[in-house]
Structure 1
Amino acid sequence: MGKCCLVTEEIERDLHRSLPEHPAFQNETGIAALRRVLTAYAHRNPKIGYCQSMNILTSVLLLYAKEEEAFWLLVAVCERMLPDYFNHRVIGAQVDQSVFEELIKEHLPELAEHMNDLSALASISLSWFLTLFLSIMPLESAVSVVDCFFYDGIKAIFQLGLAVLEANAQGLCSSKDDGQALMVLSRFLDHIKNEDSPGPPVGSHHAFLSDDQEPDPGTDIADLIRDSYEKFGDQSVEQLEHLRCRHRIRVLQGHEDTTKQNVLRVVIPEVSIPPEDLEELYDLFKREHMMSCYWEQPRPMAPRHDPSRPYAEQYRIDARQFAHLFQLVSPWTCGAHTEILAERTFRLLDDNMDHLIEFKAFVSCLDVMYNGEMNEKIKLLYRLHIPPDLSQQMFLIWGC
């Protein structure tokens, strides 16, 4: 706490973007409270730290709760009610978007049939889930949605999203492209009113209104919520959790496929190994990583999987895993000395001395063994057989 780091810099950057139209955050008192809650949460959960959209939710919580209460409500949302939403890959939000697409097909088949690619609707509705409608609906109306969310969980957001789409089905079906669909939904959401709100309207100011359009008379949030429960409230929490589990597998597999494609795209130009062989090597490398994570006794060391790293460096293996792969795929196996050679090769590849190597270093070494010129192979063998300290000094002096 009190230390400057990347997370605190990101928080500072977003403080004045959090409900800037509300009087509570037009002075240092409100901004300071928001800073303290967000910084405290980043300190509590460094794995999440801070993500955009957390500032909007926390701002609203601070309007209705004391700082400590707002902090624990934020903990509940980030860690229990919206799992895996607040990280750089927003896996949880992508899972719920995939579930939402299935619910659209089930409850609004005509709209689903007209819009062949439902991913467009999913991208439009992503902010509905990430900010619980707070960023795209007038605040005095959106707080009613947040009430429903704390009572019924994500179920309330799914059914409200379906109610919004149903109310705009005709406009969406007549839309010629994604831009028009976005305008239809933005105009509708920006004019949702709350007749029971005691305060003055605080609009979201996201509506698109052309000169030839009449002003939208608006829909009362109470009516919209009532419709959502009456028409789409039949889904139980257990059914939604089952859908989440099923779609999570698909989303994660999609991420793994994307990671693999990006890794190979980075590595292929730098080695002479055929792409089909590289794919098999990647699968072997990843399997070795997964086996150590789930089937072997855990060993204390640096985390092997860091999604924030470049694609080619996400999966990493230690010396024991490398020795196993070395025996499987290296052309330089030599009986009793194979283990020693594998250990020295790993030590040479571990240039940052964190006791882990990534896939790119692994295949680059294999490329020299299989496809390198004779002088490259002799150079590699020479570096493997000289003492580690001398090897490092020679590399710094002569680059060999």
Structure 2
Amino acid sequence: LPDYFNHRVIGAQVDQSVFEELIKGHLPELAEHMNDLSALASVSLSWFLTLFLSIMPLESAVNVVDCFFYDGIKAIFQLGLAVLEANAEDLCSSKDDGQALMILSRFLDHIKNEDSPGPPVGSHHAFFSDDQEPYPVTDISDLIRDSYEKFGDQSVEQIEHLRYKHRIRVLQGHEDTTKQNVLRVVIPEVSILPEDLEELYDLFKREHMMSCYWEQPRPTASRHDPSRPYAEQYRIDARQFAHLFQLVSPWTCGAHTEILAERTFRLLDDNMDQLIEFKAFVSCLDIMYNGEMNEKIKLLYRLHIPPALTENDRDSQSPLKNPLLSTSRPLVFGKPNGDAVDYQKQLKQMIKDLAKEKDKTEKELPKMSQREFIQFCKTLYSMFHEDPEENDLYQAIATVTTLLLQIGEVGQRSSSSGSCSQECGEELQASAPSPEDSVFADTGKTPQ
């Protein structure tokens, strides 16, 4: 009984599919009447799982077990066909599955063993008609003899061939069911179209299966556990995620894509087992493609703070990291007509307004250090690499980054002293920030 008693009882389901084919071949009239043979399969499943021990009196069922030990699963198939053949007339006249179940259960409950030395032991599945008339008794020896005479032409090799044939169909049915259940859970939570989700699921599953069966060595062979919930059966590691990230993510940014993929994986790996599931994967993609702008910014923000950003990232000498920091930029800018506007008071007022309007119920994001903020802005800029308006975007991001750094400086000074000192005001003299002074100066890029 291979694969009979695992989580999904694949072996038992395969044998049920084989049994249906044997019914069509040996009992065509019954098969024609019972259009949906799955009803019979639900009844006969316990025959195979328990070798008739649970639905037949014990003194009779032990004879079935003897035949099983001698001839293997072939004996169970034969006996099952003999039971159906003995009740074919009643089954063909049955009106529903419940009546068919009652007919078979009552027949099996009244099988006796005349050679048994002990007293008869009844089953717990007895069914009687409304008038409580005694039901005819069948001897187990006669039933077994009929099974060998009428249905003994099937060899063990033929049974195994049918098993291989139907195993593929059963496994495919399980995979389709798993896919449908996963998508049923994910679809209400994302805005990605169902047909696109199906393609993403197939890509995700393929990435997992390739690592299980085609990679040498196979580090993920133990990951495919059919006993896990549907949504957790397929999981991928950081390398596989990076490959999918480059294929389907809209946040590809040249040489920085691999770094961004690593950080995204660390952010999604909540339990830190170095594996993520399909639901986490598509939820992240949904934000990238369909999220509101503030959701996208929050996601990008989280990718530049721990746990997504590690110490190794901070200490790396990549040209996209370790910028030349300078926050002593002016807060007074010249207008085209020569006038100057002092933004110092406006920035202070902005901070006060933001503090008043802040939603207290919303969970705050962790604070970002100055170095992490610079990396955040550089990642943002790298997303527009080779864009037709790259130079304009470069200057805009550089200017906004400088302003935000100054806002942070003003906020710190305001909170520490209550107001900017005269010395601070003297330092912030009127001049416009130039790209050469921007936070991107160390990358070696200057606008054309």
TM over 0.5: yes
1-side partners of 2:220 and 2:214: how far apart?
A: 16
The alignment yields a C-alpha RMSD, in angstroms, of 1.7
1:269 aligns with 2:235: no
Report if aligned partners of 1:159, 1:229 keep a CA contact under 8 Å in 2.
Answer: yes
1-side partners of 2:102 and 2:75: how far apart?
A: 24
Partner of 1:170: 89
Report if aligned partners of 1:316, 1:357 keep a CA contact under 8 Å in 2.
Answer: yes
DSSP 3-state at the match of 2:227 = coil
Select the structure with the greater relative contact order (CA < 8 A; seq sep ≥ 6). Answer: 2
Partner of 1:6: none
1:320 aligns with 2:286: no
Partner of 1:377: 296
Report if aligned partners of 1:304, 1:356 keep a CA contact under 8 Å in 2.
Answer: no
Residues 1:356 and 1:92: Cα distance change in structure 2 (over 3 Å) = same
Partner of 1:364: 283
Report if aligned partners of 1:191, 1:219 keep a CA contact under 8 Å in 2.
Answer: yes
Report if aligned partners of 2:212, 2:219 keep a CA contact under 8 Å in 1.
Answer: no
Partner of 1:335: 254
- Single out whichever of 382-391 and 160-169 deviates more from structure 2: 382-391
Query: Structure 1 counterpart of 2:49, which letter?
Result: L
1-side partners of 2:285 and 2:124: how far apart?
A: 58
Report if aligned partners of 1:312, 1:358 keep a CA contact under 8 Å in 2.
Answer: yes
- The structure number with the bigger radius of gyration is 2
Structure 1 spans left out of the alignment, 5+ residues: 1-81, 392-396
2-side partners of 1:387 and 1:207: how far apart?
A: 66
Residues 1:290 and 1:301: Cα distance change in structure 2 (over 3 Å) = closer
Partner of 1:136: 55
Query: Structure 1 counterpart of 2:275, which letter?
Result: L
2-side partners of 1:150 and 1:144: how far apart?
A: 10
1-side partners of 2:218 and 2:24: how far apart?
A: 46
1:117 aligns with 2:83: no
Structure 2 spans left out of the alignment, 5+ residues: 311-362, 367-448
Partner of 1:398: 364
Partner of 1:286: 205
2-side partners of 1:399 and 1:192: how far apart?
A: 71
2-side partners of 1:312 and 1:194: how far apart?
A: 49
Partner of 1:209: 128
2-side partners of 1:239 and 1:106: how far apart?
A: 13
Partner of 1:223: 142
DSSP 3-state at the match of 1:129 = helix
1-side partners of 2:69 and 2:161: how far apart?
A: 20
Report if aligned partners of 1:302, 1:354 keep a CA contact under 8 Å in 2.
Answer: no
Query: Structure 1 counterpart of 2:59, which letter?
Result: E
Deviation at 1:306, TM superposition (A): 2.6
2-side partners of 1:181 and 1:385: how far apart?
A: 65
How big is each residue's C-alpha offset from its partner over 1:60-111, in whole Å with a ceiling of 9 and x where there is no partner? xxxxxxxxxxxxxxxxxxxxxx111112311111110010000000000011
Query: Structure 2 counterpart of 1:166, which letter?
Result: E
Report if aligned partners of 2:234, 2:277 keep a CA contact under 8 Å in 1.
Answer: yes
DSSP 3-state at the match of 1:385 = coil
2-side partners of 1:84 and 1:298: how far apart?
A: 26
User: Which of 302, 307, 310 is the aligned partner of 2:229?
Assistant: 310
Superposed, which structure 2 residues align to 1:8-47 within 5 Å?
Answer: none
Q: How many residues align?
A: 315
Deviation at 1:162, TM superposition (A): 0.1
TM value normalised by structure 2: 0.68
2-side partners of 1:232 and 1:299: how far apart?
A: 46
Partner of 1:23: none
Deviation at 1:303, TM superposition (A): 3.3
User: Which of 293, 302, 305 is the aligned partner of 1:386?
Assistant: 305
Partner of 1:87: 6
Deviation at 1:299, TM superposition (A): 3.9
Deviation at 1:399, TM superposition (A): 5.0
Report if aligned partners of 2:34, 2:92 keep a CA contact under 8 Å in 1.
Answer: yes
User: Which of 226, 238, 242 is the aligned partner of 2:157?
Assistant: 238
How big is each residue's C-alpha offset from its partner over 1:375-394, in whole Å with a ceiling of 9 and x where there is no partner? 11111112112242889xxx
Query: Structure 1 counterpart of 2:279, which letter?
Result: K
2-side partners of 1:157 and 1:236: how far apart?
A: 13
Deviation at 1:210, TM superposition (A): 1.6
DSSP 3-state at the match of 1:83 = coil
Residues 1:293 and 1:149: Cα distance change in structure 2 (over 3 Å) = same
Partner of 2:273: 354
1-side partners of 2:27 and 2:247: how far apart?
A: 53
- Single out whichever of 308-317 and 362-371 deviates more from structure 2: 308-317
Report if aligned partners of 1:330, 1:366 keep a CA contact under 8 Å in 2.
Answer: yes
Deviation at 1:212, TM superposition (A): 2.7
Deviation at 1:342, TM superposition (A): 0.8
Residues 1:399 and 1:218: Cα distance change in structure 2 (over 3 Å) = farther
Partner of 2:103: 184
Query: Structure 1 counterpart of 2:203, which letter?
Result: L
Partner of 1:56: none
2-side partners of 1:378 and 1:302: how far apart?
A: 37
Q: Which structure shows the higher helix fraction?
A: 1
1:200 aligns with 2:119: yes
Report if aligned partners of 2:79, 2:144 keep a CA contact under 8 Å in 1.
Answer: yes
Report if aligned partners of 2:211, 2:219 keep a CA contact under 8 Å in 1.
Answer: no
Partner of 1:103: 22
DSSP 3-state at the match of 1:135 = coil
Query: Structure 2 counterpart of 1:304, which letter?
Result: R
2-side partners of 1:360 and 1:308: how far apart?
A: 18
User: Which of 164, 173, 176 is the aligned partner of 1:254?
Assistant: 173
